[in-house]
Amino acid sequence: MFQVQARTLARLPSPRNVPRQPIARWHYACRSYQSKPPLKGAIPPLAFAFDIDGVLLRGSQAIPAAKRALTILEGANPTGSKIPYILLTNGGGTSEEARCSKLTSILGFEIGEKQFVQSHTILKTIVDKYANLPVLVLGGRNDEVRKVAEGYGFNKAYTTLDVLAWNPAVWPFHDLTESERQSTKEVDFSQTPIAAAFVFHDPRNWALDIQILCDICQSGGIIGGQYGSGGAAGRDSTPQTGGRRRPELIFCNPDLLWKANFERPRLGQGGFKIAFQAVYKAVTGSEYPYVQFGKPTEATYQFTKKVLHDRFNELYGPVADRPPHVYMVGDNPESDIAGANAAGWSSVLVHTGVYDPQQGPPSHTPTHQASDVEEAVKWAIEREFGKTC
C-alpha cells in the first residue's frame, strides 16, 4: 500500500476555478492506481516525455506495458487528473497528423499533434528561411518526405529521385521503378541551385543519396556544376563555391542504431551520416559542415521543452512559476538518456528496446532503470509524491 503525504499535495497549485480537494489514501491494485475519493482537478507536479520505438511500440505493435502506463497518466494516478505527456522520437518520414492517427489506433489513447515531436518537427522553425528556395529532402519512400516538407511550408522541395529522373547518368546503377518515376517532378537541376539539404528520414538508397549530396556540396548546389574548393571551404564562416553560398546540410536523426522487429538493432540515419562524411572526406580531404537535430541534441530538447510546457498550460493554465518536473523514458542511452541528463530532466532507461542490461552498464547513466514503461511511470509518480513501500 502506498500513501500520498498531505504536505506534498498541499504545495501543488490549484487549476483555474477548481477548489483544492482533500488528501486521500491511495491503493495500488489490479495494475493501476486507484483512490477513494479521487482528487479530481489536482495539478500534477510532473510530466513525461516518452520515446516510442522500444518504449511504447515494437515495430507496429504496442508493448503491453505501454497501454497500462498511459491508463495511469490519463487519470488512474494519485492526482486523479491527467498527467501531461508527449511522445519524443527520432523517427519520422510522415506527417505529424498521420503519425498521431496511427499511434492513437495502436495505443488506444488519443495522441494529438501537440503531444508529438518527431525528428524533423523542429524544421518548422526554419521554414521562413527556405520557404521559397530550392531544397533537397532525403529519406523515406518515393516522395513521402517531400509531402511532409511541403506541408511545413517548403514550397520548392525536391528529392534525389527527381534528380535521377532529370538525368539518369547522375547515378547509372539504379533504374527508377514505375512508382518512383510517378512520384518525381520535372526540374532542370542545371538551372536550380539547391540552397539546403535536409535528411528528414532514413534514406532508402544510400549510394544515390551520397552521390547527389557530394555533388551539391562541392558545386554550390548546382548538380553537374563545377566543383569548388572542396572541404577546405567548410572552415570559412561564409563558405562559397563558384560564387554561390554552399548548401546548408541538416540531419534530423543522429541514431546509429534503432530497435525494430528484428532481434538485433538496425542501422539508422546516423549510419548514413557516417557513410556520407567518410566518402566526402575521402574525396575532398575534410568532412562537410552540418547541423544536427534529434535526440540528444540541445536544440531538440529545448524545442521539446516548449512543446511540453505548452501542453501543460493547455491542460492547467499558465503555471510558469511552478513548472512540472520532467521525466524522460527511453530505451537508448545515447539519445534518450544523454539528452535528458543534459536538459536537467530525470531519465529512466527501460529494458524493452535498444539497451540490453546483459551487455554491461549503459554509456550514459540514467536516474533510474526499469523493466518497462509501466514500471518507469509508477516509479516516477511514487518518487514525486514521496511514497514509501
The answer to whether 272 touches 202, Cβ cutoff 8 Å, is yes
Report helix, strand or coil for 245.
strand
Q: How confident is the model at residue 366 (pLDDT cuts 50, 70, 90)?
A: very high
Report helix, strand or coil for 194.
coil
Query: What pLDDT does 43 receive?
Result: 83
The H-assigned helical ranges of the chain are: 6-10, 64-73, 96-107, 127-130, 144-152, 160-166, 178-182, 206-218, 269-284, 298-316, 338-343, 373-385
CA distance 59 to 254: 20
Report helix, strand or coil for 108.
coil
Q: What percent of the chain has pLDDT over 70?
A: 84
Query: What pLDDT does 228 receive?
Result: 79
Query: What pLDDT does 10 receive?
Result: 35
**Which range (1-5, 30-34, 224-228) has the least confidence?**
1-5
The answer to whether 335 touches 254, Cβ cutoff 8 Å, is yes
C-alpha cell at 354: 535498444
Report helix, strand or coil for 220.
coil
CA pseudo-torsion sign 323, 50, 334, 269: negative
**What are the C-alpha distances in Å from 70 to residues 27, 46, 127, 174, 374?**
18, 14, 33, 45, 8
Residue 227: is it exposed, middle or buried by C-beta count within 10 angstroms (0-12/13-18/19+)? middle
Q: What angle (nearest 5°) sits at the alpha carbon of residue 53, between those of residues 47 and 56?
A: 50
CA distance 282 to 280: 5
The answer to whether 146 touches 159, Cβ cutoff 8 Å, is yes
CA distance 71 to 89: 21
C-alpha cell at 151: 506541408
Q: Which of 102, 187, 182 is nearest to 136 (CA)?
A: 187
The answer to whether 102 touches 330, Cβ cutoff 8 Å, is no
Strand partners, 241: 244
pLDDT: which is higher, 275 or 241: 275
Q: How confident is the model at residue 81 (pLDDT cuts 50, 70, 90)?
A: confident
C-alpha cell at 342: 543534459
Q: What angle (nearest 5°) sits at the alpha carbon of residue 142, between those of residues 138 and 144?
A: 70
Q: How confident is the model at residue 112 (pLDDT cuts 50, 70, 90)?
A: very high
Backbone angles phi, psi at 78, to 5 degrees: -60, -15
CA distance 385 to 46: 10
User: What pLDDT digit, counting tens, does each position of 193-226 carry?
Assistant: 999 999 999 999 999 999 999 999 999 999 999 9
CA distance 293 to 119: 7
pLDDT: which is higher, 350 or 319: 350
Report helix, strand or coil for 93.
coil
pTM, two decimal places: 0.83
Mean residue pLDDT across the chain: 86
Q: Which of 23, 3, 22, 14 is nearest to 41 (CA)?
A: 14
Place of cell 547515378: 171
Reported in sequence order, the residue ranges of 331-378 that DSSP labels E, i.e. its strands, are 346-350, 368-370
- CB atoms closer than 10 angstroms to residue 20: 14
CA distance 289 to 247: 10
Which distant-in-sequence residues (6+ apart) come within 8 Å of 29 by Cβ? none
User: What pLDDT digit, counting tens, does each position of 370-379 carry?
Assistant: 999 999 999 9
**What are the C-alpha distances in Å from 335 to residues 119, 330, 343, 359, 378?**
12, 8, 12, 18, 23
Q: How confident is the model at residue 160 (pLDDT cuts 50, 70, 90)?
A: very high
pLDDT: which is higher, 309 or 243: 309
Taking 70 as the threshold, does the pLDDT of residue 49 lie above it? yes
